[in-house]
Amino acid sequence: MPSSDTSKSASAGIVKAGAFSSADKSGSPSLEEMKELARHLRRHIVTIIGKAGSGHPGGSLSAVEILSTLYFKVMCHNPAEPRWPDRDRFILSKGHAAPALYAVLAECGYFPIAELETLRKIDSRLQGHADRNATPGVEMSAGSLGQGLSFGIGVALAGRLSAKDYHVYVMLGDGECDEGQVWEAAMAAAHYKLDSITAIVDNNGLQIDGCNCDVMNLEPLPEKWRAFDWHVIETDGHDFTQLLNAFTAAKKIKGQPSVIIAHTIKGKGVSFMENNVDFHGKAPTAAEVEKALKELA
């Protein structure tokens, strides 16, 4: 299902949630296929950031399993009709992880996989930070951290007012949770008992220039969300089965919003990028791309 061939895109059509099973008649990918997809997504991320000469590999690589679980196993969406009114929404609040979102959107069929190589080029639809007016499938323009949860609450309230039953997913960085606006939004979602929203914190422990524990301590993070009246689920953010269980459990919670605190590794999958803050916002050199691709072969 994932394609290493950059000349064609995955088949379009409504993508529905499904359990892991190689015998799944709905065509929903198996666990093995998801692992293969994750490897391809990481190859895309490293290649296109290297080619662009700038970008954010660390926080893109940490988000791969979360994004692919959402787009291939959880959300109901239609790559052939990105603005389908009934679609589930995914909002990337940590907009610098756009390469990961672009890679998964391309693998879903929102645009050709070959277009990934235009990342950060002038006139490309794939700018360094996500732009909803440029890229099919992107719900929110982002880059200035802290805004996605507020945006998601608006989208969820609109769904409630128009009696739609779509679900809204918002991905935040852990460093992003330093922003006061995140907590204003958290308070509002609980106030409105918004059970149609699930936040995911990509809890990789690092932000732009160091460990969260040194820059601005966030812990105890689960207790903070609970104090804001959210239902909290903690999970391994690289384990597809745990992630799918977490998303399924979150959707069953009624009367309050849910947050999945996904424990991840910044730079996951590339040995010299893992837990290395240097690769927060630095492109790999050509030699580093080659080394990374060998590891991801």
Ligand X SMILES: Cc1ncc(C[n+]2csc(CCOP(=O)(O)OP(=O)(O)O)c2C)c(N)n1
DSSP-assigned states of every residue in 65-84: HHHHHIIIII--B-TTSTT-
CA-CA distance, 153 to 72, in Å (whole number)?
A: 23
Tokens of 76: 């109901």
Considering only 204, 242, 258, 264, the residue that binds Mg ion (CB under 5 A) is 204
The residue of the chain with the least Cβ separation from ligand X equals: 173
DSSP codes joined into one string, 136-191: TT--S---STT-HHHHHHHHHHHHHHTT----EEEEEETGGGGSHHHHHHHHHHHH
Instruction: Pick out residues in 119-178 that bind Mg ion (CB under 5 A).
Output: 173-175
Minimum CB distance to Mg ion smaller for 203 or for 242 = 203
- Comparing CB distances to Mg ion, the nearer of 119 and 277 is 277
Q: How far is the CB of 224 from ligand X (least distance, A)?
A: 15
Instruction: Give whichever of 74 and 142 is closer to ligand X, judged by the CB atom.
Output: 142
Site string for ligand X, 244-283 (x = CB under 6 A): ----------------------x-------------x---
Q: Which of 103, 93, 59 is nearest to 268 (CA)?
A: 59
| CA dihedral over 279, 282, 287, 290, signed as positive or negative | positive
Q: Are 218 and 174 in contact (CB under 8 A)?
A: yes
Hey, which bits of the chain come out as E strands? 89-92, 168-173, 197-203, 206-207, 210-211, 231-236, 258-263
116-124, 169-177, 230-238, 245-253 -> range binding ligand X (CB under 6 A): 169-177
Among 45, 202, 238, 240, binds ligand X (CB under 6 A): 202
Q: Shortest Cβ distance from residue 21 to ligand X (Å)?
A: 31
Site string for ligand X, 126-145 (x = CB under 6 A): -----------------xxx
- Residues facing residue 15 across a β-bridge: 77
Work out whether 98 is an interface residue with ligand X (CB under 6 A). no
Rounded to whole angstroms, how far apart are CA atoms 102 and 118? Answer: 11
Q: Which is nearer to ligand X, 152 or 159 (CB)?
A: 152
Find which of Mg ion, ligand X, none residue 41 binds, CB within 5 to 8 Å per kind.
none
Task: Kindly state whether residue 242 participates in binding Mg ion, applying the rule CB under 5 A.
Answer: no
Nearest residue (CB) to Mg ion, 99 versus 173: 173
88 binds ligand X (CB under 6 A): no
CB of 223 to Mg ion, least distance (A): 19
Whether the CB-CB separation of 52 and 44 falls below 8 Å is answered with no
Q: Which amino acid is at 134?
A: A
Q: Are 5 and 113 in contact (CB under 8 A)?
A: yes
Residues in contact with ligand X by CB under 6 A are 58-59, 62, 94, 96, 143-146, 173-176, 202, 204, 206-208, 266, 280
Residues in contact with Mg ion by CB under 5 A are 173-175, 204, 206-207
